[in-house]
Chain A
Amino acid sequence: MTNLRSLYNFNGGVHPPQHKEVSAGRPIVKAPIPSRLTIPLHQHIGNVAKPIVQVGEKVLKGQMIAQAEGYVSASVHASTSGTVSAIEMLSVPHPSGLPDLCIVLESDGEDTWAERIPLNYREMDLSALRNRLRDAGVVGLGGAVFPSFIKLNPGPQQKIQTLIINGAECEPWITCDDMLMRERADEIVQGIEIMRYLMRPEEILIGIEDNKPEAIAAMQAACSNLHFQIDVIPVPTIYPGGGAKQLIKVLTNKEPPSGGRSTDIGVQCFNVATAYSIHRAINHGEPVISRIVTVTGNVTLPQNFEMLIGTPVNELVALTGTPKADTNRYIMGGPMMGFDLPSDRVPAIKATNCIIAASPRLFPQPPAPMQCIRCTRCAQACPVDLQPQELYWFARAKNLGKAQEYFLFDCIECGCCSYVCPSNIPLVQYYRFAKSEIWAREKEKQASDLARERHEFRQLRIDREKQERAEKLAKKAAAAKAAPTPAVEGTANPSGIDSDAAAKKAAIQAAIERSKAKKAGIAPKNVDNLPPDKLKEIQNIEARREKIRELAQKEIE
């Protein structure tokens, strides 16, 4: 159902060539089960899931193989049935190119499901329902992969007025959401119903860019016979109109606060594919083990596939025919915000919405950067109203404080500035660099703060001990000084000295007695079988010692 609704604008944005038709022409196809799947345990924002299977263990399709660890985390599941052959650090699709912990699964080809328990969510406690979503590994499939159950828990204070379902898909080339909406609109809507049950929003809006008329029609049809209202709203096609904040602005004219969350303004936003996976998780008991991925670019037959999580990228690409000869690398995501995959052997994961085979012809190297002429095309294109030319200046001069003052951290790295720059300056790279530099310095500062605190505490302790010792010594000295004073004033108590000296003498005497007794008690055993001359010698020595003792005794007395 569409009603007349006024739309709003965000400033900036660009209109890159779409290239969407090349992959949107054919229906979604189920990708075959690969013989080996590599399933990374960190496919979501937050803590790495903890593996709960052993190498050699047999697992079933949909069986949890790694458990969410901590609050911000999500579980990971076996995408098909088979045997765990390794749990190790492997190359994963991430801009850093660093390896991450993965579970390698050898498929048995049976694709046997573990038990799937559909839930009647309408009778369920909300937190139990959310836990179910966490255990089903539901994360935002728009690319941010934030655990969905957290977003579905706005907290007791915050009321969600508007639930927005994001079908804008503004990046060029990508059509996975478009095709999902065209083919599975009803199931998306069922997922939205579950979200509605969890959040009780006042209104539900589905924003779809107006370059997807089939998807709009399909979603409108799916929303037409519901017992509640969902508005399907075509939004203008402009990049990055599918950014959550930009879509919220266009649909509601509200700006999610910088550094805050959209729930602060009563709005929550989910991708259509996330709604679909929520439906599968609750109504069918199926965790997130597959997703739709667009394979496009420099391939013979670009298409969308429903692929199992962990399928190697090269096997997905092979489904579109032999890759063209000049393919030089693979990009995950769109051409505006995507990144180079470290190799075509890395697995596709929950965040993989698109694989673009790239070639120098398709994405030519831009000419060498020239000087910034402050033409402010970047500022005009910036969807968050930054002054990229100033940020560039500060980032280049490593004036990081100034860069932060000019709101560096509000940059969403959409790449519009780089896209329009007539001097071919890779602006967004400078901001990524400046941000990482600031994080690194922050970390360094924290470490040095900690070290300084420790050092200061140690210094404090040493000083205190020194002082304590000094005090002790001073006390002793005072006591020593104080001791003879009564002797001078001895007239007051003469007997005091006598009794003191007598006690000392008695104590010494007692010690000597004890030592004598001890000696008498323990006869040295090594003198038992000695020749008589030796014995005599010993007796002489003993006699001498006795004499000395006596002398000493006299001395004391």
Chain B
Amino acid sequence: MNSPYIKETTSVSIIMLKVLLALVPAIGLYVMYFGPAILVSIMLAIATALVCESMMLKFRSYAVKPFLLDGSATVTAVLLALSMPPLAPWWLIVIATAFAIIVAKHLYGGLGNNLFNPAMVGYAVMIISFPVHMTQWPAPEMLASAHLTFTQELQYIFAGIMPDGLNLDAVSMATPLDTLKTQLKLEHTINEILQMPIFSWGSGKGTEIIALGYLAGGLILWQQRIITWHIPVAFLSGLFLTGSLFHIYDTDRYISPWFHLLSGGAMLGAFFIATDPITGATTPKGKLIFGAGIGFLTYVIRSMGGYPDGVAFAVLIMNICVPLIDAYTQPKVFGHKSVQPDAQEK
């Protein structure tokens, strides 16, 4: 044994556990506004993730138990489940999770070596492959014309059976971002669009409350020193500033930046996904660039791209840039004048 002989007790498992706990407020609000189906998705994703993780660990000759207990697979599963529509059929969740764990994580070398955020890879692959299934979100409780009981939800998720006389449209609807996009294409102005029942004071009904849940969880993570402020602040600022510029340019065609902050995956992405340490930038300045890049790209994809939400693609695109960002943002070392490793005196 060598010095230091003492250690702080924080472990990877504890960090991951804290991340999961910080998600509890948002998940609670999710259940309140969209029903308990999300819990089924989460359980399904966790089960798939654990099975795939143990399988891959075994294949790669790692000790299964300690690495399974690090909690990283569970976190990936929960984040992925929260990004997917909760009424998605079981196989959609299973394929997404399996792809995230097996391909995005383990085939890239496992925890610590993966270049791309596994949850976002799973999500992106699904939205490209199954766009219809991926856009069927349940309507918020107060807007749905019909309600499924929990048993009926389970029946639909696992067997694809809807109760007699009910079709999917009765319980699902486009997301606020999707609605906004479609309505803008139909040449409606922002003001007209916002009169639609799905929108509320911030963004979509219920959506904005859940976004606040993620914000609260994110603040807990920051207070617990699991994440630093850099990435969330830069992400949200990037999104907000880009949104403001367009909004000021044409208020009829570009919605208020506040709407962007509170809809889609913005808050979840800012505090829980972009902050993934493995695939994110590591230097303080790099984190700012990384976060701001995601915020900017999210806005660009949402407003000009082909998908209603852009967080997943923005995160993946910025993941590509991480090595470059890190290399060019090395902080000044104590006792040195220059910043760049290359510029040091030889």
Contacts and interface: CB of A to CB of B under 8 A. Distances in A.
A387 B282 contact: yes
B28 interface: no
A368 B334 contact: no
Interface in B31-71: 66-67, 70
User: Among the interface residues B15, B336, B337, which one has the most CB atoms of the partner chain A within 10 A?
Assistant: B336
Contact of B331 (A333, A385, A428, A429): A385
Contacts of B11: 367, 422-424
Interface stretch (A186-194, A250-258, A299-307): A250-258
A335 B342 contact: no
A410 B333 contact: yes
Interface in B1-21: 1-8, 10-12, 14-15
A426 B12 CA distance: 15
A266 B164 CA distance: 87
A245 B330 contact: no
B163 interface: no
Interface stretch (A117-125, A336-344, A467-475): A336-344
A373 B12 contact: yes
Interface string B86-117: 00000000000000000000000011110000
A309 interface: no
A407 interface: yes
A46 interface: no
A375 B2 CA distance: 23
Contact of A373 (B2, B112, B330): B112
Given A10-B334, A407-B336, A410-B334, A338 B342 contact: no
Contacts of A374: 112, 277-278, 280, 282
A498 interface: no
B341 to A, nearest CB: 4
Contact of A386 (B5, B66, B333): B333
Interface string A421-462: 111101011000000000000000000000000000000000
B112 A371 contact: yes
A419 interface: yes
Given A373-B72, A376-B277, A422-B10, A407 B3 contact: no
Given A373-B112, A375-B15, A418 B333 contact: no
Interface string A362-396: 01011110111111110110011111011000000
A419 B6 contact: yes
A389 B286 CA distance: 14
Contacts of B344: 405, 407
Contact of B110 (A256, A371, A407): A371
A426 to B, nearest CB: 7
B188 interface: no
A172 B334 contact: no
A406 B334 contact: no
Given A257-B335, A373-B72, A373-B277, A424 B282 contact: no
Contact of A407 (B5, B66, B283, B333): B333
A298 to B, nearest CB: 12
B contact face: mostly helix, strand, loop, or mixed: loop
B334 A363 contact: no
Interface residues of B, number: 39
Contacts of B277: 373-376
Contacts of A377: 10
A420 B225 CA distance: 12
B136 to A, nearest CB: 34
B89 to A, nearest CB: 32
Contacts of A423: 11-12
Interface in B276-309: 277-278, 280, 282-283
B12 A338 contact: no
Contacts of B7: 366, 418-419, 421, 424
Nearest to B69: A370
A373 B4 CA distance: 20
Contacts of A245: 334-335
A172 B7 CA distance: 12
A14 interface: yes
A282 B337 CA distance: 40
Given A245-B335, A407-B344, A363 B6 contact: yes
B278 A370 contact: no
Interface string A234-261: 0000000000010001000001111110
Nearest to B327: A390
Contacts of A368: 66
A17 interface: yes
A387 B283 contact: yes
Given A374-B112, A410-B336, A419 B282 contact: no
B8 A387 contact: no
Interface string A303-340: 00000000000000000000000000001010111111
User: Among the interface residues A337, A374, A410, A418, which one has the most CB atoms of the partner chain B within 10 A?
Assistant: A374
Given A373-B72, A385-B331, A410-B336, 10 more contacts: A366-B7, A370-B67, A371-B111, A374-B112, A374-B282, A376-B228, A379-B283, A389-B282, A410-B333, A422-B8
Interface of B: 1-8, 10-12, 14-15, 66-67, 70, 72, 110-113, 228, 277-278, 280, 282-283, 326, 330-337, 341-342, 344
